[in-house]
Structure 1
Amino acid sequence: MRTLSGDPSATPLSFDRLVVVETARQGDYEPLQPDVILAFHELCLVRDDREWFMGQLDDDGSVICWASYGSDLAEAIRSL
């Protein structure tokens, strides 16, 4: 993960946080139930139901995702 991303500080995060993804309707969010959360500075990759979502880590520790990047972790990391 660190080698592929080029981020030596990349780290897994705990699940004790709110994780949501924006929906097609402006301003609406859907909760995610992640089984993996990876942080790359303020960006995160979140896996929910075998799909990787990219988002941002907020100051309160929550993660707001904006899009799915598919099921391939290496491809999602390259999209960071």
Structure 2
Amino acid sequence: MSSIIILVAALVVASLVFRALFSVFKTVISTAIALFIIVVILAVFGFSPEDLLQEVTKLPETLQKLLKGGS
């Protein structure tokens, strides 16, 4: 009887872990697709991935200027 309870508990835990991993996988894939689409759209307008990376690294400084009201 106890082996059946352990088996059911193991199946429940395995199911929860699988669902969590699947959720993380879906998030990673959707984020990767979104980034790919953004990079392709920027490439069409003549911007390189390096330009995007440079702007992302300057983002805290830009946000700080916007919040302070400066230009």
> TM-score if structure 1 supplies the norm length?
0.21
Q: Which has the higher helix share?
A: 2
Between 1 and 2, higher relative CO (CA 8 Å, sep ≥ 6) is seen in 1
> TM-score if structure 2 supplies the norm length?
0.22
Q: Which has the higher strand share?
A: 1
Structure number with larger C-alpha Rg? 2
